[in-house]
Structure 1
Amino acid sequence: MTKTLEVVGTQDQLPDSTSVVIIGGGIVGVTAALALAERNIPVVLVEKGQIGCEQSSRNLGWIRKTSRHLHDVPLAVAADKLWAEMPDRIGRDVGYKQAGIMFLSKTDAQISMQEDWLKSVESLSLDSRMLNAQEVDNLAPGGEGDWLGGLYTPSDGYAEPSIAAPAIAKAAVEKGTVIIQNCALRTLTKTDGKISGVVTEKGEIRCNQVLLAGGAWSRRFLGNLGVSLPTLPLICSVLRTKPMDGPTNIAVGGPDFSFRKHKDGGFIITQRGKLDAPLVLDHLLIGYRYLEQLRTQYSFLQVKIGSPFFKDLGLSRKWGPKGPSPFEKVRVNDPAPNEYLNQQALNNLSNAWPAFKNAEIEESWAGLIDVTPDSNPVIDKIKSIPGLTVATAFSGHGFGTGPAAGQLAADLISNVEPIIDPSPYRFDRL
């Protein structure tokens, strides 16, 4: 994980009871906890490792509406407002900057795809617009990338993943949430078919409702309950440079690199054109569900078999309340970064903006992304288990929509008017 992740101090004593138990201390879990606590609903959040220690602190920090599916844009728009309000709401900085995001194109085909997306969202009155080559150079001067143009959304931006989830968690605690770290939740208990509590490695908690916001672990947890959530893993490698002058504060995505300014003065960089796809048992079980995506979207995947396959086989898929569960065996999903891809990204970026030729790498890391067959998350109640709500499987873009996704999950649990129409995220579509 990034070494800049802030540590949250929490209690170790497990309460006997609460109204809602949240599983997972990522951006969605802590935001849902905050929203519920603000409504004076008792909440206990349990995290098997450390707050924000997996993908919520390992992503690029982008907060974007650009290039999202049409039905996913309302959640991103709602998230924009919540990110902007977050510092005042919680009394802490989350590194939010509405600096804009610009996606670059070198070919007519890429330009055409961007224009098609822009037409698809005309009804939403976004501030997105196409750029010509001169406008690209004006917004990010000093480049030598020979771009035809790009797609730019000034109201997009970014925040700092290493401080956002911890800051929100601290605010949730101040408003009454109980957070227990290094505490894996093993299973649920039921009375008359409905959730009546949970069993953790440290004991039981009585409750009426549970929110599963477990990221890439959600498929395994639900599978133990007889519920099939189709997700497969991808790994994104990232690097951060030492402080340096760069071409722009706008977040920029090229075909084979992306970059954005970091709060410490360096840049967050990744190889946008390639992701690692480690084969695991689930590829054999549900891989056929992804054939269409592989044909149309995922030609940039680097598929390989290796140690992740055997590590995955070594983790239980069935266990009971006495455990131990796989979440106790692996506290933190911590894949090694692909340094070859990181160096490739830096080289590609340096060719486009020579200012990066002298960049020095401060650190690198990788994060595991859980992807659904349609690349959209699930935020819904599970009908077969009354009292269970899930907000998971964000397919690599959960940080940006995290505050709105957590709010939506809290709305569903509270049975109030939801922040946006939740139907695009229903579980039964999968």
Structure 2
Amino acid sequence: MPGPKPEPVESDSQLPARADVVIIGGGIAGVSTALELAERGLKVAICEKGKIGAEQSSRNWGWVRLSHRDPREMPLMVESVRIWKGLEQRISARTGYDQCGVVFTSADNTALEEEREWVDDLQEYQIPAKMLGRDEALGRFPGLDINIRGAMMNPHDGRAEPQLAAPAIARAVQALGGTVHQDCAVRVLETAAGRVSGVVTEKGRIACDAVLVAGGVWSRLFLDNMGIYLPQLRTKNTVMRTSPVPDGPQETLKFKEFAMRRRADGGYTIASAAASSYQLTPDSFRLMRAFLPTLRNEWRSLSLSIGPSFLEGLRTPRRWGPDDITPFETNRILDPEPDTAMIDKVFAFVQSAYPAFRDAEIVQRWAGYIDVLPDVIPVISGTEGVKGGMPGLFVSTGYSGHGFGLGPGAGRLGADLILGSTPIVDPKPFRLHRFTDGSKIAPMAGILRR
């Protein structure tokens, strides 16, 4: 069963000879940055090795949440929600955004106290999250029978449609004079006088003044070919969608066994709220030292295994030039096999606990790869001061499962950095050189489970 199909975007017929900025990657972060730049009058070209939004930007849960955010991400997420609210009007297209609220249930007193702490943290941003007692929480989901002690409800959390959002933004970039080039991998950068001067794609050259690498799980491979260090690994998450559920809830729900949110088509996206799957790769060993703090905090939230990913990593070329076929051209779209047994077990639990879902059917199952950095927050940064970096080269990647909601805000911050404008938030937490300047690198405990 193939992965979800994002709305199609028509590629521009010819590469431009020149652009102000080339965006490498057509996911939510890349197209959002392109939109910001195009609205400010720059000529932008988006180069995507596959299709716009075809990897994790269309495979995620579709949550746009302020809750359970790393404090370092929180200012950017607040700005991102502000952008989401006006995005459909701004681009004259549907993204499916709805500030529906999310209910985070707690199965024991320890988890309940953690949710109380989240409520307190959110007050700093004037976000009216509140605690619910057991009966009040379950009363929002008539018929649901799960064992909980209570819940946190945040009415400012929301959802959007992953298969709609990135394509809609890309088409808006085209309407502003930008160009989109799919099945068009960037092979290498060109430089002049120590700074970016262009890119060489499989279809030809584009001269430019700046490049943004927003390649998701592919970003490490691209940057490594240039000698730039990015400690990035990937985890796999399996998701499913159901047929329409007429009496299903409007609010998004998270329980220790599952997470669900209503879709625009009346069905539901459902995923496990338990461990993510991680197959060891050669990079697991190359980056073991960088990820030790992450593993100490997060080992319970990962299901480790050895499988095809290890051999795939061994076979993947790590060096190439402008005339070589690159790994981005031999694997256009990552479409990993879903964990069918696991997700079917999750759905069986939902059906047994929630009568509204007993007649629902599984319409589709899929999996996607999430790009993860050691501190589980992204890089949105220039590369000057980093070995192999240079003026004009920027990076936006490593969103660690938080990228869909952060995408519009990340796009604005990325555009600010590229233009040298006053950044929308302090960019220091997202700098690339935090991994090499002696900074302490550690995730907020438990963040991968949320």
TM-score, with length taken from structure 2:
0.93
Q: Distance in 2 between matches of 1:278 and 1:361?
A: 26
Tell me which residue corresponds to 1:165.
Answer: 166
Contact 1:30 1:165 in 2 (8 A): yes
Q: CA deviation at 1:4?
A: 4.2
Structure 2 segments unaligned to the other structure (5+ residues)? 436-450
Tell me which residue corresponds to 2:23.
Answer: 22
Moved more, 293-302 or 227-236: 293-302
Q: Distance in 1 between matches of 2:77 and 2:353?
A: 29
Q: Verify: 1:408 aligned to 2:413, yes or no.
A: yes
Q: Verify: 1:186 aligned to 2:187, yes or no.
A: yes
> CA deviation digits over 1:159-189, x for unaligned, max 9?
0000111111111100011111100001111
Q: Verify: 1:322 aligned to 2:323, yes or no.
A: yes
Q: Distance in 1 between matches of 2:299 and 2:252?
A: 23
Contact 2:94 2:168 in 1 (8 A): yes
Partner secondary structure for residue 236 of structure 2:
strand
* Counterpart amino acid of residue 127 in structure 1: P
* Counterpart amino acid of residue 402 in structure 1: G
Q: CA deviation at 1:116?
A: 2.6
Partner secondary structure for residue 264 of structure 1:
coil
Q: Verify: 1:287 aligned to 2:292, yes or no.
A: no
> CA deviation digits over 1:319-378, x for unaligned, max 9?
111111110111111111110121122123234323223320001111100111111000
Q: Distance in 2 between matches of 1:345 and 1:407?
A: 37
* Counterpart amino acid of residue 31 in structure 1: S
Contact 1:233 1:370 in 2 (8 A): yes
Q: How does 1:48-127 map to 2 (within 5 A)?
A: 48-127=49-128
Q: CA deviation at 1:253?
A: 1.0
Q: Verify: 1:204 aligned to 2:209, yes or no.
A: no
Which 4+ stretches in 1 moved above 6 angstroms? none
> CA deviation digits over 1:272-323, x for unaligned, max 9?
1021101111101012322232232241321111111111211111111111
Q: Verify: 1:347 aligned to 2:348, yes or no.
A: yes
Moved more, 286-295 or 22-31: 286-295
* Counterpart amino acid of residue 41 in structure 1: L
Q: How does 1:203-352 map to 2 (within 5 A)?
A: 203-352=204-353
Moved more, 139-148 or 202-211: 139-148
Q: Distance in 1 between matches of 2:198 and 2:5?
A: 35
> CA deviation digits over 1:117-155, x for unaligned, max 9?
333444222222221112212222211102111111101
Q: How does 1:329-408 map to 2 (within 5 A)?
A: 329-383=330-384, 384-408=389-413
Q: CA deviation at 1:101?
A: 1.0
RMSD: 1.3
Moved more, 126-135 or 381-390: 126-135
Q: Distance in 2 between matches of 1:291 and 1:196?
A: 38
Q: Distance in 1 between matches of 2:125 and 2:4?
A: 39
> CA deviation digits over 1:50-69, x for unaligned, max 9?
00000000001100010001
Q: CA deviation at 1:246?
A: 4.1
Q: Distance in 2 between matches of 1:129 and 1:297?
A: 27
* Counterpart amino acid of residue 389 in structure 1: F
Tell me which residue corresponds to 2:446.
Answer: none
* Counterpart amino acid of residue 90 in structure 1: I
Partner secondary structure for residue 82 of structure 2:
helix
Partner secondary structure for residue 358 of structure 1:
coil
Tell me which residue corresponds to 1:153.
Answer: 154
* Counterpart amino acid of residue 93 in structure 1: R
> CA deviation digits over 1:61-102, x for unaligned, max 9?
100010001121111111111111011101011111110111
Contact 2:4 2:59 in 1 (8 A): no
Contact 2:11 2:181 in 1 (8 A): yes
> CA deviation digits over 1:231-287, x for unaligned, max 9?
111000000001113441111111120001111111100011021101111101012
Tell me which residue corresponds to 2:142.
Answer: 141
Partner secondary structure for residue 47 of structure 2:
strand
Partner secondary structure for residue 297 of structure 1:
helix
Q: Distance in 1 between matches of 2:343 and 2:299?
A: 19
Q: Distance in 2 between matches of 1:242 and 1:4?
A: 16
* Counterpart amino acid of residue 422 in structure 1: P
Partner secondary structure for residue 357 of structure 2:
helix
Partner secondary structure for residue 14 of structure 2:
coil
Structure 1 segments unaligned to the other structure (5+ residues)? none
For the structure 1 residues 405 and 87, does the alpha-carbon distance in structure 2 shift closer, same or farther, using more than 3 Å as the test? same
- Counterpart of 1:418 (choices 400, 418, 423) is 423
Identity of matched residues, %: 41
Q: Distance in 2 between matches of 1:343 and 1:41?
A: 47
